[in-house]
Structure 1
Amino acid sequence: MGHREDLLAGAKRCLLEKGFARTTARDIVKESGTNLASIGYHYGSKDALLVQAYVELVEAMSGAFEGGAEGDLPGEPGSLERFSAVCSNIIGTMRDPGSLWRLSMEIVSMGDQMPEVRDHLARAQREGARGLVTLFMGGREEDVPEETVDTLGNFYVTLLMGLMTQWSFAPKDAPEAEQLAEGLRRVVEGVTRS
Structure 2
Amino acid sequence: MGHREDLLEGAKRCLLAKGFVRTTARDIVKESGTNLASIGYHYGSKDALLAQAYISLVEGLGEAFDGGGTVGESTAPGSVERFAEVWSNIAGTMREPGSVWRLSIEVVAMGDQIPEVRDHLARAQREAGRGLIPLLMGGREEDVPEDDVDTLGAFYTTLMTGLIAQWTFDPKTAPDGERLAEGLRRVIEAARPTGGAP
Q: Deviations over 1:14-49 (max 9, x none)?
A: 001111111111111111111111111111111111
| 1:109-188 matches, cutoff 5 A | 109-188=109-188
Q: Tell me if structure 1 keeps the 8 A contact 2:3–2:38.
A: yes
Q: What is the TM-score of this pair, normalised by structure 2?
A: 0.94
Q: What is the TM-score of this pair, normalised by structure 1?
A: 0.96
Which is further off, 107-116 or 84-93?
107-116
- C-alpha deviation, 1:119, in angstroms: 1.7
- C-alpha deviation, 1:159, in angstroms: 0.7
Off by >4 Å, runs of 4+ in structure 1: none
The match for 2:30 is 30
The match for 2:75 is 75
Q: Tell me if structure 2 keeps the 8 A contact 1:65–1:86.
A: yes
- C-alpha deviation, 1:146, in angstroms: 1.1
Q: Percent identity?
A: 72
The match for 2:2 is 2
Unaligned 5+ residue runs, structure 2?
A: none
Q: Tell me if structure 2 keeps the 8 A contact 1:55–1:124.
A: yes
The match for 2:86 is 86
Q: Tell me if structure 1 keeps the 8 A contact 2:71–2:82.
A: no
Between structures 1 and 2, the one with greater helix share: 1
Query: Aligned equivalents of 1:98 and 1:134: distance in 2?
Result: 28
> Which secondary structure state, in structure 1, belongs to the residue aligned with residue 71 of structure 2?
coil
Query: Aligned equivalents of 1:175 and 1:144: distance in 2?
Result: 28
Query: Aligned equivalents of 2:191 and 2:138: distance in 1?
Result: 23
Query: Aligned equivalents of 1:67 and 1:141: distance in 2?
Result: 17
> Which secondary structure state, in structure 2, belongs to the residue aligned with residue 64 of structure 1?
helix
What is the one-letter code of the residue matched to 1:63?
Answer: E
> Which secondary structure state, in structure 2, belongs to the residue aligned with residue 81 of structure 1?
helix
- C-alpha deviation, 1:60, in angstroms: 1.1
Query: Aligned equivalents of 1:156 and 1:90: distance in 2?
Result: 12
Unaligned 5+ residue runs, structure 1?
A: none
